[in-house]
Structure 1
């Protein structure tokens, strides 16, 4: 019988939420030495140097914070901060994962959305307690489009920094807004008011590496081709788009990673532009988890670069939607190439 995601109802114990806060599998082996700066983009080499220097600070602060004296543990040193500001596909996540791998354990890595989900699942005080022993907290794609979540995370980072946890974060500035990067950084620093003074900002310019010299979005498969591909691909799932969207609404976003765990390829029939914001945001989280897992995606219906309506793309969550499209296209090309 063909597997369907809609038949899965994963449960993720709260205790596992912190343990699974690590870089996506595709970044398991990365480091500063494996980041190849574009010679035409000097900011990339500068960002690597900034990341290396920050990793050194993290180790020193963590050692000082947890060093015991004759009179007991010393007062925690203030955590350091690094903000990597740039467009899609310039290697910010690679650098962030390199910082994670260079830092002493314990350490945590997750997207902004995963962090807010963690706080929601554990409660604020419990989340602070569980993360306070970290040497560093790495936050990928820090988002400014939800004031409530932003201020919640700002409060969390303030308390963690005060006990010696360093913070590294990336932005979600669009390639077409590179000239506005300074303002994006200022928005970030303003939101985390108490942390603003400790953050250094490193700009990472360049084109989206996922789409360099690549053709436009692949043409969707026919419904018949999709069924045949699902049948011939061990471990693949095949779902109707609307049924999958409805299923996502019944699951907490923190479970989306478990939803696709072990799935070799995700095939979706009847894709069409999404016009509801709540539905679109759930789809963004699923796209992030699929990309983290490197799971190939094939669809029938509309092209993946048409999955969000123009009204959605013109709204306040434009950055999230374009990031999701970029990642889904990369996954769809991977499947076509395979």
Structure 2
């Protein structure tokens, strides 16, 4: 008798507005992130310099900062700040941003990706989002997107409203891997797009190599579709989906619900993986990869695997930063999936 395996396409998540607000904390992958657990590379002194500055910022924003910690930050203690972490993929910017949120306190800070904040505005409305976030001392925005003019204007206005209310801000974005260390391009783009807010932001450069050690397309060999099915079978929380069917399912689920889609998933196996030709489908896949990475969900890729998943044209276009980030993260998750399977053998 053939036993039907569970699929992600069977999941229909319901996400109330209250959860959108409650989820504005560092994700599972960075639940234990701290400045102490960040391993600054001595080859790139900007990493330790950034840690040192963020320690100052956290101490100044922490309501419990007293004694030697207050003396450490001196005149800057308690002052409003706006920080932008500028650097390439995999240098630990998200780790540092999550560490800052933890250091200030998850009750006093809000932490989310650019997409999560735009989704929040869509669900609550602009005025109510400002009111909700104004209860915090610090708002952290990970992966600030510069490729959608409408969303960028929306977020620029949101940041301005929050800053005018005395809320401190911290954001990250990415420099392309082929920028050869000239990361000012990312910083300049960010400051230009937020226009009226640009003078308030202090840019902290984080140099270094992608710690995930992936090539632009990770290039790891794929797993056969039958091996994917064997790995999923009998494993609690493991799901398997045909790649095309999953892409179709994602088109019917709002991206704000992708996290809830993965609530109980411990391993995701995908069969029939192939290059994605439709950009809308590719961008939805990018969001799913981000949520998988946030939640440390290993993946197994059948079919052609990661090879040429996004075309050269996509990786050279306006959404290229999203695709490079997704490939770096997917490569890491695929390696975790293969290791999981090998351990079970």
Shift of 1:303: 2.3
Which runs of structure 2 are paired with 1:118-267 in the superposition (5 Å)?
A: 118-211=120-213, 217-267=219-269
Equivalent residue, structure 1, for 2:101: 100
Q: Does 2:28 align with 1:25?
A: yes
1:122-177 residue CA offsets vs partner (Å, 9 max, x unmatched)? 11111111111111111111111111111100000100111111110111112321
Q: Distance in 1 between matches of 2:46 and 2:198?
A: 22
1:235-277 residue CA offsets vs partner (Å, 9 max, x unmatched)? 2101011110010000110100010111110001111111111
In structure 1, the gaps of 5 or more residues are: 64-76
1:297-327 residue CA offsets vs partner (Å, 9 max, x unmatched)? 0011112142112221121111100100110
Q: Distance in 2 between matches of 1:83 and 1:51?
A: 11
Any conservation in 1 of the 2:54–2:100 contact (CA below 8 Å)? yes
Provide the TM-score with structure 1 as the length reference.
0.91
Q: Distance in 2 between matches of 1:212 and 1:252?
A: 30
Shift of 1:57: 3.3
Which runs of structure 2 are paired with 1:284-299 in the superposition (5 Å)?
A: 284-299=286-301
Equivalent residue, structure 2, for 1:14: 17
Which of 30, 43, 46 aligns to 1:43? It is 46
Which runs of structure 2 are paired with 1:271-310 in the superposition (5 Å)?
A: 271-310=273-312
Any conservation in 2 of the 1:54–1:82 contact (CA below 8 Å)? no
Q: Distance in 2 between matches of 1:25 and 1:155?
A: 29
Provide the TM-score with structure 2 as the length reference.
0.89
Shift of 1:233: 2.3
Equivalent residue, structure 2, for 1:66: none
SS of 1:275's equivalent?
coil
Q: Distance in 2 between matches of 1:38 and 1:102?
A: 21
Shift of 1:113: 1.1
Farther-moved stretch of structure 1 (153-162 vs 222-231): 222-231
Q: Distance in 2 between matches of 1:111 and 1:59?
A: 22
User: How many residues were matched structurally?
Assistant: 324
Q: Over aligned residues, Cα RMSD in angstroms?
A: 2.1
Q: Distance in 1 between matches of 2:29 and 2:189?
A: 30
Q: Distance in 1 between matches of 2:41 and 2:153?
A: 35
In structure 2, the gaps of 5 or more residues are: 67-77, 341-345
Any conservation in 1 of the 2:29–2:294 contact (CA below 8 Å)? yes
1:199-226 residue CA offsets vs partner (Å, 9 max, x unmatched)? 111111111111179x953211112112
Q: Distance in 2 between matches of 1:29 and 1:3?
A: 31
Q: Distance in 1 between matches of 2:149 and 2:55?
A: 31
Q: Distance in 2 between matches of 1:308 and 1:238?
A: 22
Please identify runs of 4+ aligned residues in structure 1 that moved more than 4 A: none
Q: Distance in 2 between matches of 1:282 and 1:20?
A: 20
Q: Distance in 1 between matches of 2:32 and 2:223?
A: 34
Change (3 A) 1:56 1:198: farther
